[in-house]
Structure 1
Amino acid sequence: MGKRKLGHESNPVDLASPNPIFYVVAEVPIDVIKHHRTCWLHVLAYLHAHKMKMSRQRIRRLQLTAPCLLGTSNFPRRKRSERGVKCKIAISKQKKKLNSGEFECYLENLWRSFSEDKKTCFTYLDSLWFNLYLKKSKRANVLTWIKKKHIFSKKYVLVPIVCWGHWSLLIFCHFNENLQSNTKTPCMLLLDSLEMANPRRLEADIRKFVFDIYKAEDRPETRELISKIPLLVPKVPQQTNGEECGNFVLYFINLFVEGAPENFSIDSYPYFVSSSLLPGLLYAVF
């Protein structure tokens, strides 16, 4: 009998196989887990023991909605709404840096707020995929997952990036067009709310990432053509402290999707954001 799978999301995680996300489970004695209040750690330990699978999306939701209380004396009651925990809270109250689970939760809610007409031109990648791609052992898996997103049928592809604890946003524009097109020029935008961190440091990895995506899709474009896709780093509003980068990426996504033109023009970028905007406007989006 094959291993059971939880949920219907794509890319389920095999809870019986080695994976960094489950190291914390292995480090806690099972008798301790067995007797403490139910949390995401407890649930994953149970599923791991029963050789079950769960999607990464559901794991993140567990981490958000069922925090681990090991080692604490407080056992607060969690209020449940009719539709579960509300992720779309005011980001102005969010003082700490967003982790990947929180970011994905906010992004899912933001995505649902866009009209269907807007979303037909867009797709977005999981915020952990770029970071996973940088690990050779995970690269083939990431390229397979991206292939299922059909990015070459979309005008715009949003690629949230989190590297070295910092968030930025990569956007593929007009990858559905011929690389030699004169009217709809394929290009990439890299939006970073911390310019002093030198966004260009990611360029080599981004270009290898893009080339491997084209190669995995068996596209006819040559390496030379792919290497000439412009990578633009526009000036955008900057964060005021080290904890806001994830919030700014959500802000940029909202502005870009709401204002995306039929044809993106290199000559007029960044049409979607003004550096004169007050960072406080970030919080009004949510």
Structure 2
Amino acid sequence: MKRKMRNKEGQPSTNNFDIYLRGMWKIILKNKIAGCTFIYTLWFKNYMSNTCNSRTDALRWISNEKVFEKRYVFIPMCEGGHWNLLILCNLDKTVDSKTRPCLLLLDSLQSTISDKHKAGLQTFVKNIYKEDGRVGAEAVVKYPFGIPKVPQQTDGSKCGQYVLYYIYKFLMCCPQNYNWEEDYPGFVSGLQII
């Protein structure tokens, strides 16, 4: 039986998005992905569920990825049938270093982003800190949080493809360590409408 790779709207299913991402990850040069990782989409989906066990499991799985040793952590998210991308930068740095931690949210339908959504993502990152036993979880709300202007989709069915494109282009263009003052928004100038 052939596996269904897309949902009825033409988007990659949550289960299969990870297959596409893993395939892309394998073809990118090793020096580009060194110090980077991605979080499986189902982990974020479990975190967002309203059950305590799912949320706890998701945070434990994310913590096991050793995200605080990474330069960049890519978190593809599918909420309400729409894909967007959260990039955690410099979690291996301190808040007072030149390349301090920051968050980037890339969305091909930027009109869907609200302050409530931003606060929810900051809480998610705070909970990752807490799960890992790290100090400084409360400082997450002070991290720069960028929502750069990125190419926008013109239909309702390509947001998953845009997220894969954003990941690829970021990896190809990103600096060794992301400096908010010098590099934001940086890589988006290399993005083109797909």
Q: TM-score, with normalisation over the residues of structure 1?
A: 0.62
Three-state SS of the structure 1 residue aligned to 2:41 is: coil
Assess, with a 3 A threshold, how the Cα gap between structure 1 residues 204 and 122 changes in structure 2: closer, same or farther. same
Aligned residue in 1 for 2:170: 256
Higher helix share: 2
Q: 1:147 to 1:203 in 2, by over 3 A?
A: same
Report the Cα offset of residue 131 of structure 1: 2.3
Aligned-pair RMSD on alpha carbons?
1.9
- Which structure has the larger Rg? 1
Match of 1:197 among 92, 105, 112: 112
Name structure 2 gaps, 5 residues minimum. none
Query: Compared with structure 1, are the counterparts of its residues 166 and 199 closer, same or farther at alpha carbon in structure 2 (3 Å cutoff)?
Result: farther
Counterpart Cα distance in 2 of 1:276 and 1:176: 27
Given the alignment of the two structures, is residue 162 of structure 1 paired with residue 59 of structure 2, yes or no?
A: no
Task: Kindly indicate whether structure 1 or structure 2 has the higher relative contact order, using CA contacts under 8 Å at least 6 residues apart.
Answer: 2
Q: Paired residue for 1:184?
A: 99
Q: Is 2:63 the counterpart of 1:147?
A: yes
1:69-110: per-residue Cα shift (whole Å, max 9, x none)? xxxxxxxxxxxxxxxxxx9xxxxxxx8122112311211110
Whether 1:216 aligns to 2:126 is no
- Contact 1:236-1:275 within 8 A present in 2 as well: no
What letter is aligned with 2:122?
R
Identity across aligned pairs (percent)? 35
User: Which string of whole-angstrom CA distances, capped at 9 and with x for unpartnered residues, describes residues 219-251 of structure 1?
Assistant: 12251x222112110000000101010000000
Partner of 2:87: 171
Distance 1:256 1:179 in 2: 22
**Cα–Cα, structure 1 residues 108 and 199, in superposed 2: closer, same or farther, change >3 Å?**
farther
Partner in structure 2 of residue 10 of structure 1: none
Residue in structure 1 matching 2:161, options 224, 247, 252: 247
Q: Is the 8 A contact 1:188 1:232 kept in 2?
A: yes
**Partner SS, residue 140 of structure 1:** helix
1:259 CA drift (Å): 1.1
Is 1:119 matched up with 2:119? no
1:133 positional shift: 0.7
User: In 2 relative to 1, CA 199–159 (structure 1 residues): closer, same or farther, beyond 3 Å?
Assistant: farther
The answer to whether 1:265 aligns with 2:179 is yes
Secondary structure at 1:128's aligned position in 2? helix
User: Aligned AA for 2:146?
Assistant: L
Question: Residue 38 of structure 2 contacts residue 74 of structure 2 at CA under 8 Å; is this kept in 1?
Answer: yes
Contact 2:126 2:137 survives alignment (8 Å): no
The superposition leaves residues 22-65 of structure 1 with CA deviations (integer Å, 9 ceiling, x where unpaired) of xxxxxxxxxxxxxxxxx4xxxxxxxxxxxxxxxxxxxxxxxxx4
Offset of 1:200 from its aligned partner?
4.2
4+ runs deviating over 4 angstroms: none
Counterpart CA distance in 2 for 1:114 and 1:199 is 33
